Structure 1
Amino acid sequence: MAQFLDTTAVSHELTQLIKKADEKLYLISPYLQIATALKDLIRERDSRKIDIRVVYGKQDKLNPEDLSFLQELSSVKVSFCENLHAKCYLNESTAIITSMNLYQYSQQNNREMGIKVDKATDTELYNEIVAESRRIIQTSTEPQFIVKKKIPEPSTPQMQKKPSSQSGFCIRCKTTIPLDPSHPLCSTCYQSWANYSDPTYREKHCHVCGKSSQTSYAKPICYDCFKKMTK
Structure 2
Amino acid sequence: MSAFLTGEELENVVYDIIWDAEKTLLIVSPFIKLDDYFKNLFKKHMDDHKLRIILVFGKNEKKVNRSLSNEDFDFFKQFPNVSIVYVPHLHAKYYGNEKKGVITSINLYDYSFKNNIEFGVFSEQKLFNKLSTSADVEAWEQCMDLAYNNEVVYVKRPAYRSKKGLISFGKEYVKSEVLFDSTDKFYGSGKSNLDSEKRLYDFDDELDLDNQYDVRPERVWEEEQSSTFSKNKINKKENKVDPTNNTQDKEPKKGYCIRTREEIDFNPERPMSNKAFKMWNKYGDKNYQEKFCHFSGEPSNGETSFAKPILRKNWKKAMKN
What interval of TM-score do these two structures reach, taking the shorter chain for normalisation?
A: 0.5 to 0.7
Within a 5 Å distance, the mapping from 1:82-231 to structure 2 comes to 82-120=88-126, 123=130, 124-125=133-134, 126-143=136-153, 156=174, 161=179, 164=198, 173=257, 175=263, 185-188=273-276, 194=282, 196-198=283-285
Distance 1:86 1:72 in 2: 26
How far does residue 162 in structure 1 lie from its aligned partner after superposition? 7.7
Which ranges in structure 2 are unaligned for 5 or more consecutive residues?
Answer: 162-173, 182-197, 205-254, 266-271, 289-293, 295-305, 307-321
- RMSD of the alignment, in Å? 3.8
Which residue identity does 1:103 align to in structure 2?
Answer: Y
Is 1:52 paired with 2:53? yes
Deviates more, 1:126-135 or 1:158-167: 158-167
Query: 1:63 — aligned with what?
Result: 69
Distance 1:20 1:32 in 2: 20
Contact 1:96 1:116 in 2 (8 A): yes
Change (3 A) 1:37 1:158: closer
Which residue identity does 1:47 align to in structure 2?
Answer: D
Number of residue pairs matched by the alignment: 190
Which of these two proteins has the greater Rg computed from alpha carbons? 2
Query: 2:8 — aligned with what?
Result: 8
How far does residue 48 in structure 1 lie from its aligned partner after superposition? 1.7
Distance 2:15 2:26 in 1: 13
Greater per-residue strand proportion: 2
Change (3 A) 1:18 1:192: closer
Query: 1:222 — aligned with what?
Result: none
Aligned with 1:46: secondary structure? coil
Deviations 1:129-185, CA, capped at 9 Å, x for gaps: 221111010122233xx7x98x9987658788389479689x9838459xxxxxx84
Which residue identity does 2:35 align to in structure 1?
Answer: A
Alignment TM-score, normalising by the size of structure 1: 0.68
Which residue identity does 2:111 align to in structure 1?
Answer: Y
Change (3 A) 1:158 1:65: closer
Contact 1:175 1:186 in 2 (8 A): no
Percent of aligned pairs with the same amino acid: 24
Which ranges in structure 1 are unaligned for 5 or more consecutive residues?
Answer: 178-183, 206-215, 217-231
Distance 1:35 1:157 in 2: 28
Change (3 A) 1:33 1:189: same
Alignment TM-score, normalising by the size of structure 2: 0.50
